[in-house]
Amino acid sequence: MRDATFFRKAWIWALFCIIALLLLSSASETQRQWNPLDRFLVEITSPIQKLFTRAVDAIENFWLDYFYLVDVRRENKELKKQVNQLMMQNTRYHELLSTYKRLQALLNFKQTFEEPVIAAQVIGRDPSGWFRSVIIDKGKEDGIQVDMPVVNALGVVGRVVGVSAHYSKVLLIIDQNSSVDCLLQRSRDRGMVKGLFPERCKVAYIVKSSDVIIGDQVVTSGLGGVFPKGLPLGRVIKVEDSPGELFKDIDMKPAVNFSKLEEVLVILKKSLAFD
C-alpha cells in the first residue's frame, strides 16, 4: 500500500519534471513573446502585483522619508544654530562698529577742548522716574569734582552733583533742578536753559523784543562758571508770545539724545561758580 502511494507521487513529480523539460526545450531565442496562457496569467496576477508593489513602495518611501526628515530636522537644527551664532556675531560687530563711531566722535570732540577731559561710561539711571540724573563710572580718584561739566559729542549732558571715590552722579540738563546760562547763537540773546519734563527744556528769560525763530541753535554762554562757552545745548522748537508775560515762552529740544546716553566726557575744569 505504501509502495503504491510512493510510486504515484514519484510519477506526479516525474510528470512535472518532464513538462518543465519540454517547456525548456520548446523555448527558443525567437519565441519570447507571451502566449495566450501567459497573457491570461499576467492579466490575473498583475493587479495583485501592482497593489503589492505600491504597498511596498509606500512603506519604503515612508521609511526613507522618515529617516530623511530626521536628517533634515537635525540639519535644520544645526543651520538654525549657525544662523543664531552668525546673528550674534553680526550684532556684536554692529555694536563694535557703533561703539567705534561714538568713541571716534567723542575723541574728535575731546580734541576741541583745551582743558583735560576724562571719558566715563553711564552705569545707572535715576530710579525715581521723575528726576533726571545718571551715575558714571569715574569719581574723585579720577580727578572728578562737583560741578564739573559733562558733555558728549552732540553737546552738553549736565554737571556733576555728587562724587564718590570711583563713581559720580550727573544731573542732566533736562532735570527740573538744572539751569544753564545760555546764548541764542544767531541773535546773541541771553537766557537760561531749564529742564522740563520729559526730555525737553525751557529757555527762560528771553525778552519779548528778541528775534528768536524755531530752529535757532542754543549754546552755553560761558557765564555761571560751570560750562565753557559755545557748547551746543539744543535747538528751539517752540516760540510763543504769551500776552501779559515779560518774557517769551520758548521750548528747546536738547542736542543730546538722553535715552541713548552711554559714554560721556567730563571736563576736568575747576568750577568758578562758587569761587
Partner 1 sequence: MGEKRNILLYIITWIAGLFFILLKGRWLEGLGSTMLDLDLILILIAYLYLRRGGVAAGCFAFGQGFVMDTFSGGFKGLFVFLYLISLACIALLSRFLHLDNPRGQVFVVGAAWLVEKVLFGAMLLTLGSQLVLEGKDIWLLILSLVVSAMAAPVCFSFLDRLKVAVSDSNHERKIVLEQH
Chain residues in the site for partner 1 (CB under 8 A): 124-133, 135, 161-162, 169, 171-172, 175-177, 196-198, 259
Cα→Cα distances 174→8, 157, 253, 254, Å: 118, 9, 10, 8
Tell me the torsion sign for CA atoms 171, 177, 180, 183. positive
Q: Give the residue carrying C-alpha cell 569719581.
A: 139
| Contacts made by residues 161-164, CB under 8 angstroms, sequence distance 24+ | 161/133, 163/139, 164/139, 164/140
Q: Give the number of other Cβ atoms within 10 Å of residue 10's Cβ.
A: 10
**How far is Cα 200 from Cα 166, in angstroms, rounded to an integer?**
30
Of residues 46 and 176, the one with the C-beta less far from partner 1: 176
Q: What are phi and psi of 208, to 5 degrees?
A: -65, -25
- Shortest CB 67 distance to partner 1, Å: 47
- Shortest CB 234 distance to partner 1, Å: 17
Residues in the chain: 275
Of residues 196 and 223, the one with the C-beta less far from partner 1: 196
- Amino acid of residue 159: R
Of residues 93 and 130, the one with the C-beta less far from partner 1: 130
- Shortest CB 176 distance to partner 1, Å: 5
Of residues 132 and 269, the one with the C-beta less far from partner 1: 132
122 neighbors 158 (Cβ within 8 angstroms): no
Of residues 255 and 261, the one with the C-beta less far from partner 1: 261
Of residues 139 and 183, the one with the C-beta less far from partner 1: 139
Q: Give the number of other Cβ atoms within 10 Å of residue 172's Cβ.
A: 24
Quick check: helix, strand or coil at residue 250? Answer: strand
